[in-house]
Amino acid sequence: MKNTVINRIVITVFLLFCLIPSLGMVVFGQSRAGANEVLSKFPAVVDKSGSLNGNYLSEISDWAGDRFAFRQELVTAWSGLNAALFKTSAEDKVIIGRDGWLYYSETLDDYRGMSLEDRKLEAIARNLSLMQEYAESNDTAFIFTIAPNKNSIYPEHMPNFVPNGRENANSKRLMPYIEKYGVNYADLFSAISHENETMYFMTDSHWHNKGAALAADVILSGLGRDSSYFNSEFIHGEEHKGDLYEMLYPSGNRTESDFKYLPGFTFTTAKDPNGGNAINIESSSEKGIGRLLCWRDSFGIALYPYLAETFHDAVFSRSATYDLVRLKAEETDAVVIELVERNLNYLLENMPIYPAPVRNMPEIVARMPAIAVSAQQGKTAASNEMMLIQAEIPADSADNTTNAFFVCGGPCYEAAILYIDGSGPVVSAWIPAADIGDISVVYGNDGGYCISDAA
């Protein structure tokens, strides 16, 4: 009898404990999202076609799993237990380094030297050179820069079991092609690594405000402008909770001191609702000179205030498409493209918008069967008079293709070379809609070119 009572008590306590997360949603509310987490949406019983949602049960399970009470506290406790006992991360996107450092797991391929093939690296540099040519043809300065992965600058805090193959990283092997094609490049790797001060947060994947000041000086120097933001006076600013720390310990309270640029900023913003994280930010500075168009990623959150202070007018975009036609319409003086090291493949997957330059026909040594060509209308006001022409050339020609062209009746247009979703080389160019007709594809290198029959 006594054992039966004890068993019932244990079972009751266990069931009540299991009900805490779900009942807690009623009493304490839903658990919030942590760091960059995107929570599942509440599912609809009926889908858009009017049919019953066959995935409703799994979707409602995901929704509840994202929101049950004390979720973030339990995740934090579990992460702390794994870190303390096994020195491992409970979060796939976070690497636990030494001395309290955290790293982003999506930078591992670069760190290990699992890099792109030479033909793809050359395609990146060549594509950038075509973008630069268009900018400069419109009297606009152009500069490209790579924001280094944190473990590229500070590998000494990475776990010992992760091999360092940085010598084969994309950013290093890209440099000879950057030089070959004459791309104006701001080298942040050298500038940051030569500083005795640490330019990145220990528990965040990004540089802090002083590191961003150094990056701004290097970029502006590459544009022929003098600046000394990094050498200005800084004081300790607001406490910052690192994005990696928040992923791993969503209810934790560890912070790091950021730096505050003591002279202060005088620029104003027409659009900046998310503290530098908006898709588009427009700024104006009475101290600045000229107009800037800058594409940036999350590293630009700390970077953009220095650039905004330097230019009288500036537009900062987080769009995945570099719509360079805007620079002509907006009378831009300078274009900056900042891209984090781990995302260099974006330059192989997304076609910038600019009119393809007209070239002389290269020497043809072989004729090939017709290649299917797709055409897509421009979606922006600046590009709606052009068509995006794309054609996938034979995969076995990839190693022998460094240049590509479209021949539209008479004109020969130089095209960019992309590699989209693991496909073979995709020849891509924006061509005036009026010139679209029978199209031949020309591809090869200085040793000779093939031309396809018109499609």
Closest CA to 428 of 370, 387, 385, 398: 387
Q: What is the pTM of this model?
A: 0.85
Determine what percent of the chain falls in helix, strand and coil, rounding each to the nearest 5.
35, 25, 40
Closest CA to 322 of 296, 279, 352: 352
Roughly what angle, to the nearest 10 degrees, separates helices 56-67 and 2-28?
Answer: 90
Residue type, 270: A
The span from the CA of 287 to the CA of 148, in Å, is: 30
At residue 455, the pLDDT reads: 74
At residue 63, the pLDDT reads: 47
Number of H helices, E strands in the chain: 13, 20
Predicted confidence pLDDT, tens digits, the chain (455 residues) = 556 666 565 555 544 444 455 554 444 445 455 555 555 565 666 666 666 765 655 655 554 445 444 555 555 555 555 555 556 666 789 999 999 999 999 999 999 998 899 999 999 999 999 999 999 999 999 999 999 999 999 999 999 989 999 899 999 999 999 999 999 999 999 999 999 999 999 999 999 999 999 999 999 999 999 999 999 999 998 899 999 989 888 878 889 999 999 999 999 997 666 677 888 999 999 999 999 999 999 999 999 999 999 999 999 999 988 999 999 888 999 999 999 999 999 999 999 999 999 999 999 889 999 899 998 887 766 667 899 999 999 888 888 899 999 998 788 999 999 998 777 899 999 998 887 878 999 999 988 999 998 87
End-to-end CA distance of the chain: 88
414: which DSSP letter? E
Contact predicate 314/357, CB 8 Å: no
**Domains (ranges, CATH) in the chain?**
2-44+54-69 (no CATH), 102-349 (no CATH), 358-452 (2.60.40)
At residue 69, the pLDDT reads: 47
Residue type, 60: I
Phi and psi at 263, nearest 5°, equal -60, -25
At residue 398, the pLDDT reads: 85
Token pair, residue 168, equals 């084969």
Which residues make Cβ contacts (< 8 Å) with residue 138, sequence separation at least 6? 327, 328, 332
Contact predicate 145/344, CB 8 Å: no
At residue 60, the pLDDT reads: 55
**Cα separation values, 38 from 32, 63, 138, 160, Å:** 10, 11, 41, 32
The span from the CA of 79 to the CA of 274, in Å, is: 29
Contact predicate 411/376, CB 8 Å: no
Alpha helices in 338-447 (DSSP H): 346-349
Token look-up 């491992």 returns 88
Closest CA to 438 of 405, 403, 395, 409: 409
The span from the CA of 166 to the CA of 164, in Å, is: 6
